[in-house]
Structure 1
Amino acid sequence: MLSGPAILRISVLLILAGILAALVQFLLPSPVPAPAPVPVAEAPAEAVPAEPAAPPPASEPASQPPAPPPVPAPARPAQMPSDALAFPSDPVPVQQGQAEIDRAEDSAGPRAIAILDLNTASAADLNKLRGGGAIGRAIVAKRPYTSVEQLLSKRVLSRAVYDKIKDQVTVR
């Protein structure tokens, strides 16, 4: 049974935990849905004169220097694309090298399975058997074995696990 001061301490801790959770919710940004993609319009190129401005006519006095040709205003930089446009949703075409790898994997036979000896393999290696789980310690504890079937007769493994790993182990 809890005493009054213990109940008070637990209540205070629960209240503090609630306040802390509220602060975390408030301070951490909530996931905001991505805005709809906005098409990016190209900025129209400003007209640039094809030829430089003609020199002033000869009738003007020579004391005045010729005016420099007008410099076109720099074009506005294009709007940066949003994340939705920067990473297209269309799949990237498979490269030729990847296609060759896929064809080789399709035509290859089954992958080689390393066969472990029940009497000499480490517990870590036995735990890596496909479909076995953490069985290494149990197998090591009941050594030595004269056949793989002793995993069942010594009640080391269940029938289901034995059926999954029996082709991956041997006894030498």
Structure 2
Amino acid sequence: MLSGSAMARVAVLLVTAGLLAGLVQYFWPPAAREPAPQAAGQTVPRAPKPEQTREPVRTVPTAQPPAPTELRPAPETQPAPPLAETPPPPVLAPPPSPPPPDPSVPDPAERAQDEAGPRAVALVDLNTATVAELNGLRGGGNIGRAIIQRRPYAAVDQLLSKRVLSRATYERIKDQVTVQ
């Protein structure tokens, strides 16, 4: 059974809901209350509008016609002074493009790379590398913690046999790691 305070709460909720419903009906635009047609070409029957209950206003004819109102000409206004024509903005020419590089002169950055020879790949030892070094491997992603948790390794292929990495990730990093 409901206590007195619970019944009071229910009563307050019902009264509040009724007031809100009344406010919505009063302030909601009438066009929004009408339901939209269900399907294309199908119309929804609408309730007929109630006829006006007030009587139409009747006018009593007067014996005299109303006096014509005097038409006055509009006050003359001075035309606005013509605006001074401003010249169109000058067309700016695009800046000259730099001359194309001479193919006979190599770029200094390319020349430095050519003289350095093949870039040596620094191998990372699986048993001694830090998490940051392992995560820095190209194509590996964040694999450092998983590799460190299953140490020690006797060979690189134990990354697959211990199920540390997927085959695709292993294929991407196998040339960058070693075990000593």
TM-score range, shorter chain: 0.3 to 0.5
Length-normalised TM-score, structure 2: 0.43
Q: Highest relative contact order (Cα 8 Å, sep 6+), 1 or 2?
A: 1
Structure number with the higher helix fraction is 1
